[in-house]
Amino acid sequence: MKKVLMLGTGGTIASEVTPSGLAPALTSAELLRCVPEISSLCSVTCEELFSIDSTNVTPAHWLTIARAIRARYEEYDGFVIAHGTDTMAYTAAALSYLIQYSPKPIILTGAQKPIVFENTDSKTNLADAFRCAVSDLRGVMIVFNGRVILGTRARKTRTVSLQAFSSINYPELAVLQNGFLMEYIRPSALPAPVFYDKLGERVALMKMIPGADCGMLSYLLEHNDAVIIESFGVGGLPSYQGSGFERVLREAMEAEKTIVMTTQVQNEGSNLSVYDVGFHLKNDLHLLEAYDMTTEAVVAKLMWILGQTRDPAEIRRLFCTPVSYDLLYLKREDKA
């Protein structure tokens, strides 16, 4: 029988009702007792890392999870992380960079309703997560509502519906129906994973709105090493007289800040070369472009990169090097 390590972190799945709303309370062992069928799938060891609402998750928690897996990696055949849904996609992306090319499955799951509720998705999601943890799947994945989603491609797209997560710009890896796993895609792996244990947390995100003040971008660049700009459509920034964005960007590039342009549009990605408002950002200022990456993956990848280097050329090379299929589309000038 295969051995699986279950890591508890809190979240809705482990929550109980309190006078001020739902709050994490149950341990991993208590969750398992609610799904007795898991005992027939594998031998499980439980470890509590923390018990928090995932709104409170920080990059330090990502490192805690990655280190726990690294410390026990050789002892287990798979790993299940019970996690809150609100930041699960960020955690899945971060673990995809901190633990690369894993030949073993590393599964994140959670629920839209606590396991103590009568009408809950917790039990199905948890059982499905363990089915995947003992399978031949590999790498970091989210298992939720019968779908298996690559860690670098997941996004929470519904706040209360049971189908909370979507796979963005990439197919689902597998589906589960009536307890059976049907695998479509198997990511590449190495005989042993490559672990990392540092993150550069000084990364900020600016979401553009019509009439946005360039002063906000200037502030974010002053206080961070990297800034991601979520622009409109395929990408661009205001260029009307007095907008000030080009000046702010030029000053930031001279100060060797890292700037990534992406899009607010969920599907199909950016392409700065299409319109004049984006062309000069790409060809004159040489900003990095996220293309088909999710914002969650861009955030986590930049933190991973800044944990390894501060050299601008190396930052560009690493950002443009695909990791766990986070980036499928690259223009020729961006390829490492």
pLDDT score at 164: 98
pLDDT score at 334: 73
Q: How many domains does the chain have?
A: 2
Bridge partners of 139, per DSSP, are 105
Of the residues 9, 85, 263, 294, which is catalytic? 85
pLDDT tens digit sequence for 141-169: 999 999 999 999 999 999 999 999 999 99
Cβ neighbours of 88 (radius 10 Å): 27
Residues 212 and 154 in one domain: no
Residues 234 and 151 in one domain: no
pLDDT tens digit sequence for 73-97: 999 999 999 999 999 999 999 999 9
Residues 184 and 209 in one domain: no
pLDDT tens digit sequence for 307-316: 999 999 999 9
Taking 80 as the threshold, does the pLDDT of residue 335 lie above it? Answer: no
Active site residue 109: no
pLDDT score at 332: 58
Residues 183 and 220 in one domain: no
Cβ neighbours of 9 (radius 10 Å): 26
Residues 183 and 232 in one domain: no
Domain encompassing residue 277: 203-334
Mean per-residue pLDDT, 291-311: 98
Residues 131 and 225 in one domain: no
Active site residue 85: yes
Q: Which of 195, 227, 255 is the last residue of a domain?
A: 195
pLDDT score at 73: 98
Mean per-residue pLDDT, 258-274: 95
Q: Which of 170, 195, 220 is the last residue of a domain?
A: 195
Of the residues 9, 12, 294, 295, which is catalytic? 12
CATH number, domain of 154, equals 3.40.50.1170
Q: Which of 195, 223, 247 is the last residue of a domain?
A: 195
Residues 182 and 43 in one domain: yes
CATH number, domain of 275, equals 3.40.50.40
Residues 210 and 236 in one domain: yes
Kindly write down the DSSP assignment for every residue of 54-116, as one continuous string: GGG--HHHHHHHHHHHHHHGGG-SEEEEE--STTHHHHHHHHHHHEES-SSEEEEE--SS-TT
State the average pLDDT for the chain. Answer: 96
CA distance 200 to 316: 15
pTM over 0.75: yes
Residues 250 and 147 in one domain: no
Please state the separation of Cα 35 from the chain's center in Å: 27
Taking 90 as the threshold, does the pLDDT of residue 283 lie above it? Answer: no
pLDDT score at 299: 98
Residues 31 and 93 in one domain: yes
Taking 60 as the threshold, does the pLDDT of residue 336 lie above it? Answer: no
pLDDT tens digit sequence for 240-259: 888 999 999 999 999 999 99
pLDDT score at 331: 63
DSSP 128: H
pLDDT score at 242: 84
Residues 175 and 321 in one domain: no
Residues 108 and 224 in one domain: no
β-pairing, 165-167 with 154-156?
antiparallel
